[in-house]
Amino acid sequence: MMRRMALDLGDRKIGIAITDALGVTVQGRPTLTRTNVDADIEHIRHLVTENEVSQVIVGYPLHMDGLSSPQSEKTKAFVEFLEKGLAIPVALWDERLTSFAAEQHLKELGLGWRERRKHIDEVSAILILEDYLGTQQ
């Protein structure tokens, strides 16, 4: 099986989730606070190597009608850098409603808004990866 990683890109943070060695369960990883593209790519490359990741899935933020948004364009630009910096496949994955679902999940856990803000990116990455894996069965 292959280990996969999902990224939920934001302007300030990147949520990260990685599957187990069998590619079955998904665990969130500490959210990366962004500094610059080179440092962000280096951090991701380190995680890929350390965890023997064979594919990266990046949440692709589209408008509800399926059209691209300014954030989609930023994501595509980052993915180009990522593909150059990693020697493994990188895929874009439609992440519409992921942040909303993550927020709802954290609310159901009874977390206040400050706690939800700390975990939203990580939970979004987990949901992106679980959604992607659900289509690979």
Domain of residue 15: give its range. Answer: 3-134
- pLDDT tens, position by position, 14-41: 999 999 988 889 999 999 999 999 999 9
For the chain, the domain total comes to: 1
**Strands (E) located in 34-137:** 53-60, 90-94
**Token representation of residue 91:** 């895929």
The neighbour count for residue 47, using CB atoms within 10 Å, is 18
Residue 91 identity: A
CA gap 87, 126 in Å, rounded: 23
Burial 66-86 (b: 16+ CB within 10 A, else e): eeeeebbeebeebbeebeebb
**Structure-token match 């899935």, residue found:** 57
Q: What is the CATH number of the domain that holds 130?
A: 3.30.420.140
Residue pair 126/6 in contact by the 8 Å Cβ criterion: yes
SS3 content of the chain, % helix, strand, coil (to 5): 45, 25, 25
Give residue-wise pLDDT tens across range 56-114. 999 998 877 878 888 899 999 999 999 999 989 999 998 876 777 777 877 888 878 88
Pairwise CA distance, residues 17 & 8, whole Å: 9
pLDDT of the residue at 33: 96
